[in-house]
Amino acid sequence: MTVIIYHLSVISRNLCLASLLILSLVVGGFAQTTKSGIAEQANLVTEFDVNGLKVLVKRRANAPTIAAGLFIRGGARNITDKNAGIENLMLSAATEGSKKFPRETLRREISRTGSAIGSSVNNDYSVLSLVSTLQNFDRSWEIFTDIVLNPAFAPEDIERARAQIATGLREQETDNDNYLQILQDRLLYVNHPYFNSVRGTIDSLAKFTAKDLSDYHRKTMQTSKLLLVIVGDVDPKAIQTRVAGVANTLGNLPRGDYKETAFPALDFSKPSLDVTARTLPTNYVQGVFDAPSLSSPDYYAMRVAVAILQGRIYSEVRNKRQLSYAPNAELGSSASNTANIYVTAVDANQAVSVMLDEVNNLKTGQINDEMIDGVSGHFLTLYYIDQQTNIAQTGELAKYELIGGGWRNSFNFLDKIREVTPSQVQAAAQKYMKNIRFVVVGNPAAIDKKIFLPTS
């Protein structure tokens, strides 16, 4: 199963930062007492190398499940317009069956052991994932390893995976939010590796043969290109023994010589407006602007700035003027990162005008320490919610290791947020919240260019 998330759902957009900040004030004192406790989580992580394969193991005592992810570095840098989606299809087909565990055997064992094996792709990296019960981890790991090392790539498995991906590609343009994001990506990522879809296209997916997938698998499964992360009640030494065994283990993969290259900068040299006509009850609008990456020192101030902007936009656009049910502001976490403002509204001109006023207010108005303290508490709340599962912690460690300057930074997030000052928030807004590139899906006649592309 391949998963890529383009947009938050409408329901999640409706979360009001203002209400979350009330909760934050309640837990604010608790946040200070847990500062060292969160940092101490790093002491639970063991790092080692097996033949060039970097392995991170975080031990969670008494956890009933174990999660593992084998992450593939590179993402969109691994493909071209000619083979867009090949990594996606390769991983999806691999999870259908291996040489030792063909599809029917695999499904039976997965059901019997209460395990789950899947795959996911994004612009920065991909993953084969495993979630297993503690008591069945030995068997689940055996299955997972065989899928990694010896995927069957049976014709029927490939066709099943191809059909599932193609169905998702066809359906994504029927959802207006997804379609908006697709159009935004096409505009924003010209001359950038992200322009080549990691999911693939209907045309590119149709061309791949079993040999293509097998050849790509062989080139991909090299330890220098991989990262293994495991979270659960496991002994790191036992994991090291599994990985470094003499036969049929991940550590026996060829080392290769993969070297990661930096992404080029995105083009935010000037604002832009692209309107696509579609008969809809409302106009869908997204404006994207530059943002620091997860590894940048500016990221934390920008994270606070966007959180404050989110609350203000929600208050002004929805609560006070009732122009939209779900206005929003978001900050991404990609290597080539962006932030955005979003709204769906009948009167898109008025809604966007209000949103741009709030952007300008953030650049020039006063921001006090109490507001930042409230945002810190908000992030503390979300941190614990987001980190409840082992698979979530696996993904967080991998994200920071691969694009966030190292896995230890995942435990410094809350401390870094608390260190942000009002002047840093304002400086981040001034530096990044400009030259906004808008995409609109709806009625072109209802869009006033002067509002979306102000001259000053």
pLDDT of residue 23: 35
pLDDT at 425: 96
**DSSP-derived 3-state class of residue 270:** coil
> Can you tell me the distance from the alpha carbon of 338 to that of 266, in angstroms, rounded to the nearest whole number?
9
pLDDT at 370: 81
Homologous superfamily, domain 44-252? Metalloenzyme, LuxS/M16 peptidase-like (3.30.830.10)
Instruction: Considering the chain, tell me which residue range(s) the CATH 3.30.830.10 domain(s) occupy.
Output: 10-33+265-452, 44-252
pLDDT at 242: 94
Q: How many Å from the N-terminal Cα to the C-terminal Cα in the chain?
A: 47
Cα dist from 435 to 273, 333, 368, 453, whole Å:
11, 20, 26, 9
List the beta bridge partners of residue 73: 125
pLDDT at 149: 97
If the chain, 456 residues long, is cut into consecutive pieces of 10 residues, what is the mean pLDDT of each piece? 35 40 37 55 94 97 96 97 97 98 97 96 98 97 97 98 96 92 95 96 96 98 98 96 89 95 94 96 97 96 95 96 95 96 97 97 88 79 80 96 95 89 96 98 96 84
The span from the CA of 329 to the CA of 310, in Å, is 5
- Count Cβ atoms below 10 Å from residue 158 Cβ, excluding itself: 22
The answer to whether the CB of 46 falls within 8 A of the CB of 56 is yes
Cβ(363)–Cβ(373) below 8 Å: no
Is the separation of the CB atoms in 378 and 8 below 8 Å?
A: no
Distance, in Å, from the CA atom of 140 to the CA atom of 65, rounded to the nearest integer, reads 11
> Residue 170 and residue 205: Cα distance in Å, rounded?
13
The pLDDT score that the predictor gives to residue 36 is: 55
What is the rounded distance in angstroms from the CA atom of residue 287 to the CA atom of residue 272? Answer: 9
State phi, psi for 226 to the nearest 5 degrees: -120, 155
Among residues 100, 92, 205, 186, which one has the least CA distance to residue 143? 100
Residue 262 near residue 76 (C-beta atoms within 8 A)? no
What 8-state DSSP symbol labels residue 262?
P
List the Cα angle 27/31/34 in 5-degree steps: 130
Model pLDDT, residue 11: 36
pLDDT recorded at residue 369 = 82
Tell which CATH architecture fits domain 10-33+265-452.
Answer: 2-Layer Sandwich (3.30)
Residue 374 is predicted with a pLDDT of 80
Buried b (16+ CB within 10 A) or exposed e, 392-431: ebbbbbbbbbbbbbebbbbbbbbeebbebeeebbbbbbeb
- Say what the pLDDT of residue 39 is: 63
Torsion of CA 396, 52, 117, 145, to 10 degrees: -150
pLDDT attached to residue 86? 98
Helix (H, G, I), strand (E, B) or coil at 452: helix
211, amino acid identity: K
Structure tokens at 317: 């656009």
